[in-house]
Amino acid sequence: MTIYAVVDPASGETLREYPTASDDELREAIRRADQAHRSWSATAAERGALVGRVGELHHERRDELAAIITREMGKPIEQALGEVDFAAAIYGFYAENAEGLMADEPIELHDAEGSAVVRRSSVGVLLGIMPWNFPYYQVARFAGPNLVIGNTILLKHAPQCPESAEAMQQIFDDAGCPRGVYENIRATNEQIEWVIADPRVRGVSVTGSERAGSAVAAVAGRNLKKVVLELGGSDPFILLSTHDLDRTVQDAVAARLDNTGQSCNAAKRFIVADELYDAFLAKFTAAIAAVRPGDPRSPDTAIGPLSSKVAADRLEDQVARAVAQGGRIVTGGARTGNFFEPTVLVDIGPDNEAYREEFFGPVAQVYRVGSEDEAVELANATPFGLGSYLVTTDPEQAKRVADRIEAGMVYVNIVGADAPELPFGGVKRSGFGRELGRYGADEFVNKKLIRVGA
């Protein structure tokens, strides 16, 4: 039985199955990627032009690409179109900045003659292990910078996203990338172990669960391979003061429900100052309850089904355990098939498992705090440290709190502000390394020192 299949989460219907690669097919893909690396476009400008064409093809095929991921993982169609556009923008950013990102970096010498520069160059074949929740965006932020650098890519997508993976392979081929530069591989977890161990594979990037990241990092560590991990998150949304509570509530709902709540860096725990708590909870609950799950193919749908039955089962179990351990549902909590009502939980105490878990779906936890210090302590009381959100009218407070939050990203008085030029990544059990921007282009690169005497 194949593990790669398109199963429409809205209906549960299996639409198409795909064969898993044989060992020989995988070995041949590695050989092609290694061979391609030796001659992959001699200059950054040439590589940038090809990556730019990949972005253009995303724009040209946006309707087709969006429809695919709506089938595969239930993303509402308007959000699917937005994801395609964002992926295209990422390729465009790296295409436009290819030469600058690869430029020599002079080092000023002290009490010495001659010169020194750091010269960036590729390291070889990289393996990307990508998730189902953002099938195009996740690939773009890994493949975009690394192809511009001159690395070549083996891309293992999630088993439920084989159609979008195939569509991306076609885009790279049609853009003119030489064979082996970008290789879509439908591999099993067992096969991935020896792919990582292959000496021609020089690094691995994983976006996914803690379990997946830990397993891959263990294999990579044994084989002395560098790893970038972007794992889970239980991001706090801290509300300390606001001039416009209605706008803040609108931002809070958007930060929680984007992608049907299935985003690693979505706001998941809403930490509210005592004097604003009652008003916020009332307005937030009303706004959340007004969002109803619907057909993801309709442009009017804000949230669709969860990505799979497994995902829906997991979320249902988490909510049930949260309530059994003392939590209270203010609104929502019901499930129909893979559709889950937007839900608000309160009264989650430190002894509740929900206090430290990541809820991957449209479930929000709301907490009351009596001070800035209490808000920061609660925000940091999680094994995760991906992103965070802070709302305050006090600029000095914003600086203080942002410095104290244990996270890779802090967004102050703004949500939905991800951009190709901004680094993305976390700390603690959310992983390590960065993607996007200048920092995303510096992970899998040889920073070679060249020191010349007088």
**310-324 pLDDT, tens digit each:** 999 999 999 999 999
Residue with the two structure tokens 């000023």: 108
Encoding tokens for residue 251? 């931002």
Does 450 have pLDDT greater than 50?
yes
CATH topology of domain 235-419: Aldehyde Dehydrogenase; Chain A, domain 2 (3.40.309)
- Parts of the chain belonging to CATH 3.40.309.10: 235-419
Catalytic-residue membership of 230: yes
Q: Of 1, 65, 5, 2, which is closest to residue 309 (Cα–Cα)?
A: 5
pLDDT at 118 over 50: yes
Dump the DSSP string for 369-381.
ESSHHHHHHHHT-
Q: Are 402 and 376 in contact (CB under 8 A)?
A: no
How is residue 384 annotated by DSSP? E
Mean pLDDT (whole number) for 413-431 = 97
Task: Out of 230, 341, 357, 358, pick the active-site residue.
Answer: 230
Given a contact cutoff of 8 angstroms between Cβ atoms, the answer to whether 6 and 15 are in contact is: yes
C-alpha pair distances (Å), 237 with each of 136, 240, 302, 366: 27, 10, 21, 9
In this prediction, residue 42 has a pLDDT band, given cuts at 50, 70 and 90, of: confident
CA distance 448 to 246: 52
- Enter the tokens of residue 8: 């429409």
Spot the catalytic one: 163, 177, 264, 357.
264
In tens, the pLDDT along 142-176 reads: 999 999 999 999 999 999 999 999 999 999 999 99
| Residue 30: φ, ψ to 5° | -65, -45
pLDDT reading at 237 higher than 60: yes
* pLDDT cut 90: percent of the chain above it: 98
Q: Do 177 and 143 meet the contact criterion of CB atoms below 8 Å apart?
A: no
pLDDT of residue 79: 98
Q: What stretch(es) of the chain map to CATH 3.40.605.10? A: 4-231+430-452
**CA atoms within a 13 Å half-sphere pointing along the CA-CB vector of 71:** 17
Partners of residue 17 on adjacent β-strands:
5
What's the pLDDT at 41? Answer: 82
Asked if the model's pLDDT at residue 454 lies above 90, the reply is: no
The pLDDT assigned to 1 comes to 47
pLDDT of residue 124: 97
Check if the beta carbon of residue 291 is closer than 8 Å to that of residue 254.
no
In the annotation, is 264 catalytic? yes
Percent of the chain at pLDDT exceeding 70: 100
What pLDDT was estimated at residue 111?
Answer: 86
Q: May I ask the CATH architecture of the domain 4-231+430-452?
A: 3-Layer(aba) Sandwich (3.40)
Mean per-residue pLDDT over the chain, rounded = 97
